[in-house]
Structure 1
């Protein structure tokens, strides 16, 4: 049974495919030698993937937290705006030779868009998985114990 349209699932997987490599790329770029050719190439890939992630996330409705604006956008979308602001300004800063500004923007981006937003989303999804597991566990135990009308019990849990 589909809970959302196929376009939602496509956007969700596209979002995941572009953001998950950024977790590792961003960490590598932050912690290892900077300024060499590898850093520059990986940095451009990282920036491009983060831009795609931010744009795609704007089309995904807020399922984490409350939907605040137009029944679509939530507080989590502020991290998309942070990304759409940070990437061009960080790129412009490094092109002009302002390494300090570039560094601040990229650290801000990694901490805000990947660690905070990603951590918040991941903890929300883990919570949903735990509730689903416990719900199925309880229902299975009641069936094993011989309760005939499990549907009434399910309705009480979900109401």
Structure 2
């Protein structure tokens, strides 16, 4: 393992990875905290803020270019922003079932699904984990 590919990457990539690490760290906190409790609400705000940073920073990453400077990841990022707003709105309305469903979809798609994609050969995190 080497951090050289990440330290050589563009600042948007570095910010994106840092925010992802924070979001991943807070995900189990959300799952284990009492729903609706102080820890769940505070860590949820942190998680949502970091996921907004994840999604927005990805808009400045253009390594894959399928449609001009954009790729399917940019669609996922836009969907993540919409999903976060929806999930937060549902929690505020007291529709916890819809909130939980939306957050599960966001975790599965934006963290797990996209995370697996970033480990593909030729991607920066693949180079970080596979070493020189």
TM range (shorter): 0.7 to 0.9
TM-score normalized by the length of structure 1: 0.69
Q: Relative contact order (C-alpha < 8 Å, sep 6+): which is higher?
A: 2
Determine if the alignment matches structure 1 residue 116 to structure 2 residue 117. no
Q: Distance in 1 between matches of 2:17 and 2:128?
A: 18
The TM-score, its normalising length taken from structure 2, stands at 0.82
4+ long deviations beyond 4 Å: 126-133
Following superposition of structure 1 onto structure 2, how do residues 1-159 of structure 1 map, counting pairs within 5 Å?
A: 9-63=10-64, 67-70=65-68, 72-124=69-121, 125=123, 128=127, 133=132
Any unmatched runs of 5+ in structure 2?
none
Q: Shift of residue 131 of structure 1? A: 8.8
Change (3 A) 1:132 1:23: closer
Equivalent residue pairs, number: 124
Larger radius of gyration: 1
User: What RMSD over aligned residues (CA atoms) do the two structures have, in Å?
Assistant: 2.4
Q: Secondary structure at the match of 1:73?
A: coil
Aligned pair in 2 of structure 1 residues 132, 30: CA closer, same or farther (>3 Å)?
closer
Distance change in 2, residues 1:35/1:129 (3 Å): closer
CA deviation digits over 1:17-60, x for unaligned, max 9?
11111012123212442110011000001001100110110111
- 1:71-99 Cα shifts (integer Å, max 9, x gaps): x1111222201211111111110111000
